Structures are given as C-alpha cells and as structure tokens.
Amino acid sequence: MAQDPGKMKAYWKKNLKTLFFLLLVWFVVSFGFGILLVEELNTIRLGGYKLGFWFAQQGSIYAFVVLIFIYVYRMNKLDKEFDVDEE
C-alpha cells in the first residue's frame, strides 16, 4: 500500500488522541465514579438510587455502550478524511 508516511503519521496521531479522550471517560465513569469517589457521590440521590451505587451497577455500563458508538462514528469520519476508509 503506497500511502504518504507523513499523512499516515497525522492519521495515527489523531487516532491516539481520540483513544486517549475516550479512555479517560471510560476510567472516570467506572474507576472514578463507581469506586474511588463512590462515598462522596452516594450523598447525592438519583430517584431511588444513591448516585455512586448507580454508577457502579448501571451508569458505567450505559456509558461504555455510548463510548464505543462515539468511537465508531469518529473513526469512520477520520478514515474518510484521510482517505483510508474501506469501500
């Protein structure tokens, strides 16, 4: 595949930036809200839930699903932008 190495470097850099941002959110909603800050968040209520408990048992899972779809959308756009997408 004859691709311009400079362009590919830029593509990879943007890819890594996307990954970094998404994994940061991944870490914050699960390890952050669900474990490290659970006591503090439990003082806040979300209907019948304590917020920290909700993140640990349900909220983080919803966030994971959303994260993957943002990734899919963002990467498809990036692939097109750099002309490395598949037909």
Partner 1 sequence: MEILTWTYLLVGLSFALYIGIAIWSRAGSTKEFYVAGGGVSPLANGMATAADWMSAASFISMAGIISFAGYDGSVYLMGWTGGYVLLALLLAPYLRKFGKFTVPDFVGDRYYSKTAKVVAVICALFISFTYVAGQMRGVGIVFSRYLEVPIEWGVVIGMCIVFFYAVLGGMKGITYTQVAQYCVLIFAYMVPAIFVSMQLTGNPIPQLGLGGAVADGTPLLDKLDGVLTELGFAAYTSGRKSITDMFMITLALMVGTAGLPHVIVRFFTVPRVKDARLSAGYALVFIAILYTTAPAIAAFGIFNTIESTSEKNISELPAWVSTWQKTNLISVDDKNGDGKVQYVADSDANELSIDRDIMVLASPEIAELPNWVVGLVAAGAMAAALSTAAGLLLVISTSVSRDLFKTFRPEISEKKELRIARIAAAGAVVLAGYFGVNPPGFVAQVVAFAFGLAAASFFPVIIMGIFSSRINKEGAIAGMLSGLIFTLAYIIYFKFISPEFNTSDHWWFGVSPEGIGSIGMLINFVVCVLVSRVTPAPPQDVQDMIQEIRIPRGAGKAVDH
Which residues contribute to the site for partner 1 (CB under 8 A)?
A: 1, 3, 8, 11-12, 15, 19, 22-23, 26, 30-31, 34-36, 38, 42, 46-50, 53-54, 56-58, 60-62, 64-65, 67-69, 71-72, 75-76, 79, 84-86
Q: Which residue has the tokens 């966030």?
A: 63
CA of residue 9 relative to chain centroid, distance: 22
In the complex, least distance from residue 81 CB atom to partner 1, rounded to whole angstroms: 12
In the complex, least distance from residue 74 CB atom to partner 1, rounded to whole angstroms: 10
Distances (CA, A) of 35 to 23, 46, 50, 60, 66: 16, 17, 13, 11, 20
- Angle, vertex CA 40, rays to CA 48 and CA 38, nearest 5: 75
Assess contact for 25 and 63: CB atoms under 8 A.
Answer: yes
In the complex, least distance from residue 26 CB atom to partner 1, rounded to whole angstroms: 5
